[in-house]
Amino acid sequence: MNRRHFLLTTASAALATATLSAPAFAGSMVDYSPGLIQKHLASGKIVFVDYSASWCGTCARQERVISALRQANPAYDDAIVFVRVDWDNYRRHEVTTSRKIPRRSTLLVLKGNQELGRLVAGTSEQQIKALMDAGLQAAS
């Protein structure tokens, strides 16, 4: 067995073991379908909306930060419904145009008929945490 093959096999085995033994993060984004956000808002819930695209680097960075914050503080998932709107499918849809969403990588927090906060293309943990905290405060 050559060294390269040995290293690849060892790395693959280690990754598989780590993946199997790591606890899965329960909090996930709900994929948008027409009426979903309105349904949650009508029931009194706080909704965090992530307008993203699978190919967007800024969106991927935002998603990593959001996931880390949610994993660190389960109160976010207790108080907020997280919805992902696929930019490629819904950029010209009412869910985007009615809220004047300028681009993918836009994050919103909504309660009832109010927009509690918005972040466009921001990726810092501090900015995203502040937006999520606005939703948490509104829920209490």
Q: Is residue 3 in a domain?
A: no
**77: domain range?**
26-139
Query: Distance (Å, rounded) from C-alpha 61 to C-alpha 140?
Result: 28
Q: Residue 52's domain is classified under what CATH number?
A: 3.40.30.10
User: Per the structure, how many domains does the chain have?
Assistant: 1
What confidence score (pLDDT) does residue 2 get? Answer: 58
Q: Is residue 2 in a domain?
A: no
The string of DSSP letters for 9-50 reads HHHHHHHHHHHHHSPPP---PEEP-TTHHHHHHHTT-EEEEE
Collect all residues with Cβ–Cβ distance below 8 Å to 66 and sequence separation of at least 6. Answer: 50, 82, 128, 132
**Is 12 a residue whose pLDDT tops 90?**
no
**Is 21 a residue whose pLDDT tops 60?**
no
Query: Distance (Å, rounded) from C-alpha 103 to C-alpha 97?
Result: 10
Task: Report the predicted TM-score, pTM, of the whole model to 2 decimal places.
Answer: 0.80
What confidence score (pLDDT) does residue 140 get? Answer: 85
Collect all residues with Cβ–Cβ distance below 8 Å to 127 and sequence separation of at least 6. Answer: 119
Mean pLDDT estimate for the chain: 86
